[in-house]
Structure 1
Amino acid sequence: MADNSFPGTNPFLKVSSNSSKGDSSPVFQQISEEDEYEVTSPTDATFKSANVGASSGTAYGGNSRDEEATATLDTGIRFGRSPFSQDGDDDNDTFGEAPEPTRPSGLDPGFPSNYALGRRTSVSAESLNPTSAGSDSWTPPNHPKSQEQLSRLRAAVSGNFLFAHLDDDQFKTVLDALVEKPIPAKDIKVITQGDAGDYFYVVEKGSFEIYIHPSGAVQPGPDGMGNKVSTTGPGSSFGELALMYNAPRAATVVSVDPKSTLWALDRITFRRILMDSAFQRRRMYEAFLEEVPLLSSLKPYERSKIADALDAIKYSAGSTIITEGDPGDAFYLLESGEAEAYKEGEEGSVKDYKRGDYFGELALLDDKPRAASVVAKTDVKVARLGRDGFKRLLGPVEKILRRTEYGSRPNTATSTS
């Protein structure tokens, strides 16, 4: 790269009068890396269209002192000659002319000659405020799909940890927002290590190889992608980390098979759905847990921890939520609807459940099989807390939980299982 890293010479640094012989002086530092992905970046199209240069056609000014070596940008900044000189003061002009820039090999013609290829990538993302999500006009995209496509996508995305806590409505929003991205040939770079992340991808068809370079970015040369670390195929996904953490791509992903198919979710939709759903979900569960008598003695931050660990599950009327005799693996809070408990050998239900009631704790406390079956009387929505979360987060109320005992309908116990 040429030593000169900014158009023109430093207007505040004088050079010797023989500057025309080729001697150059230190000039401004290269353009700040933080501008790389901003709208006003020097790599943006607006920079390329700026009127920089004199009639000689050189990048930063003419080579003749008879021609004014001045470049004027939209901002009105003048480069090349002294900002303090007067017209006609050529004899007193001690400011050197900008040297002819040297374009680095391999640099895209759309980039300025002084673009630093090896500099560290900086990523800037839009600011999303979940508290105002419900008051703006943003609408998630909806790309129609066949039932067969939806089935494949649902299977592929369901195993991704980022979507594990989405309810059915939110999960459908994600599937609707995915757009098909055909990959027509092999050896196509889908994402490049070090680049900014724009999409999250789900693989529907084909295989893709993953490469990582120790430097953190792709380098020139045949081995520039680094080492192959993995191969991924249908049902897998990649690209979520860069979108989630606003970080450069951590790997390069290349197609292996011709005619592969990906489904992509853009950055705005990805972050908006996840951030909004996470915020709304926590707020909803915190409000719900405040209404549960069992948890009334907990501090707000303790309820917040429980809220983050809950999974929402829906059951249609008549569905069995837990079965008598099965090992206990979760604790349940009834969010909406009604449910009933049944025990083998007893006629009819032995317990009714409504919003705010809980069940499934006894099997977890004593490591015993379920003492009864619980069936949805209407369409219900339950908040499920797994065994590990139950033992970790509900320690403060364990004594209250152990007070409940199984009994027939006249018994006033809260839980039966």
Structure 2
Amino acid sequence: MFNRNRRGSVSAESMHPEDTENEEHIVIPKSDQAKMRIASAVSSNMLFGNLDSDQRRMVVDAMFERRVAANETVIQQGDEGDNFYVVDDGLFEVLVNGKKVVEVEAGGSFGELALMYNTPRAATVTAVVDSILWGVDRVTFRRCVTGHNFRKRKLYESFLKTVPILSKLHPSEVTKLSDALEPANYEEGDYIVEQGDLGNYFYIIEQGEVEVTKVDEDGNELMLPSLSAGDYFGELALIHNTPRAATVMAKNDVRVAALAKDAFVRLLGPVVDIMKRRTISYSTFDRQALEAMLQSIKENSDGESTEDEETHD
């Protein structure tokens, strides 16, 4: 009785990232509509929610179609897990120990534990009517995710070595930082951060250029120096736990690597002091820029007054 009721062991295939680096990207033809339905179905799934857009696309591309007849069993409780399924059309019932617990219709999914662990199926899933499924096997899913993460890490490690302020980080810290970074793309005119908003991310520019502006206490808008590849921004709100101090807008197509607040505090400890010292130069520049702007306004006003007097004479 003790052995029979024990939970099954949890395991998964050992997979080395280097082994997947040169493997061809699997693409099983499917319509754009089918891809959209699959993407919509897995958008709220925990596993897919942790994937970036490129990883989701790779997994969706690798999914195969399976047509199921009414009353056909797709998953049998106690069997070894193999595939994860998204319901494209039809209806399925899920039974645990012979008792129906839920129904899954178009847009739903089941079998995700097969992608995580090599454990027996926890339920039986049977088609109620003729149905269509899209599936992906555990090995292909893991290969897509593992291979992509490995390539992303190598790419970011190379890039981060070119960022001067991160030169003090140990190689192991750079690797951890690479894993935590999230890519994001912006088009010309997009606001990346806006002054006064809460800050939840720190940004490093991979490519492109951004415009930085700040409105002072008197309502004057100051133009701060533009930033380009290798520069960073967003650290002030995270260091001081205050709202965004400036607005950053994409001047052209911009790609950034974003780091969430908790990871920023955990991974960038060695360079936070340097960033704090940089805030002094921000304040100095603000004062200088404001003085220059006010002087320019004064000079323009004086010039206009002189011209008016000459015209009047």
Q: Is the 8 A contact 2:190 2:249 kept in 1?
A: yes
* Deviation, structure 1 residue 165: 5.3
Aligned to 1:318: 189
CA distance in 2, matches of 1:171, 1:410: 47
Residue identity (%): 45
Aligned to 1:352: 226
Aligned to 1:35: none
Query: Relative contact order, CA 8 A, sep 6+: which one is greater?
Result: 2
Q: Which residue of 131, 135, 141 corresponds with 1:270?
A: 141
Aligned to 1:242: 114
- Matched ranges for 1:193-342 at <5 A: 193-206=77-90, 208-212=92-96, 225=97, 232-245=104-117, 247-255=118-126, 257-342=128-213
One-letter amino acid matched to 1:343: K
More helix as a share of residues: 2
* Deviation, structure 1 residue 340: 1.8
CA distance in 2, matches of 1:380, 1:236: 35
CA distance in 2, matches of 1:332, 1:307: 13
Q: What SS does the corresponding residue of 1:374 show, helix, strand or coil? A: strand
Q: Is the 8 A contact 2:69 2:127 kept in 1?
A: no
Q: What SS does the corresponding residue of 1:404 show, helix, strand or coil? A: helix
Unaligned runs of 5+ in 1: 1-119, 213-224, 413-417
**Kindly tell me: are residues 398 and 251 of structure 1, through their superposed partners in 2, closer, same or farther at Cα, counting changes over 3 Å?**
same
Aligned to 1:189: 73
Aligned to 1:131: 18
Q: Is the 8 A contact 2:87 2:133 kept in 1?
A: yes
CA distance in 2, matches of 1:257, 1:175: 25
One-letter amino acid matched to 1:142: I
Q: Which residue of 370, 376, 394 corresponds with 2:268?
A: 394
User: Structure 1 length as normaliser, TM-score?
Assistant: 0.57
Deviations 1:333-389 (A, max 9, x none): 112222221223555742322222211111122222111121122222211111222
For the pair shown, which has the larger CA radius of gyration, 1 or 2? 1
**Kindly tell me: are residues 211 and 397 of structure 1, through their superposed partners in 2, closer, same or farther at Cα, counting changes over 3 Å?**
farther
Determine if the alignment matches structure 1 residue 372 to structure 2 residue 246.
yes
- Greater shift, 122-131 or 316-325, is seen at 122-131
Deviations 1:88-116 (A, max 9, x none): xxxxxxxxxxxxxxxxxxxxxxxxxxxxx
One-letter amino acid matched to 2:84: F
Unaligned runs of 5+ in 2: 1-6, 290-313
Determine if the alignment matches structure 1 residue 174 to structure 2 residue 59.
yes
User: Structure 2 length as normaliser, TM-score?
Assistant: 0.74
One-letter amino acid matched to 2:26: P
Q: Size of the alignment, in residue pairs? A: 277
**Kindly tell me: are residues 306 and 127 of structure 1, through their superposed partners in 2, closer, same or farther at Cα, counting changes over 3 Å?**
closer
Superposition RMSD in Å? 3.3
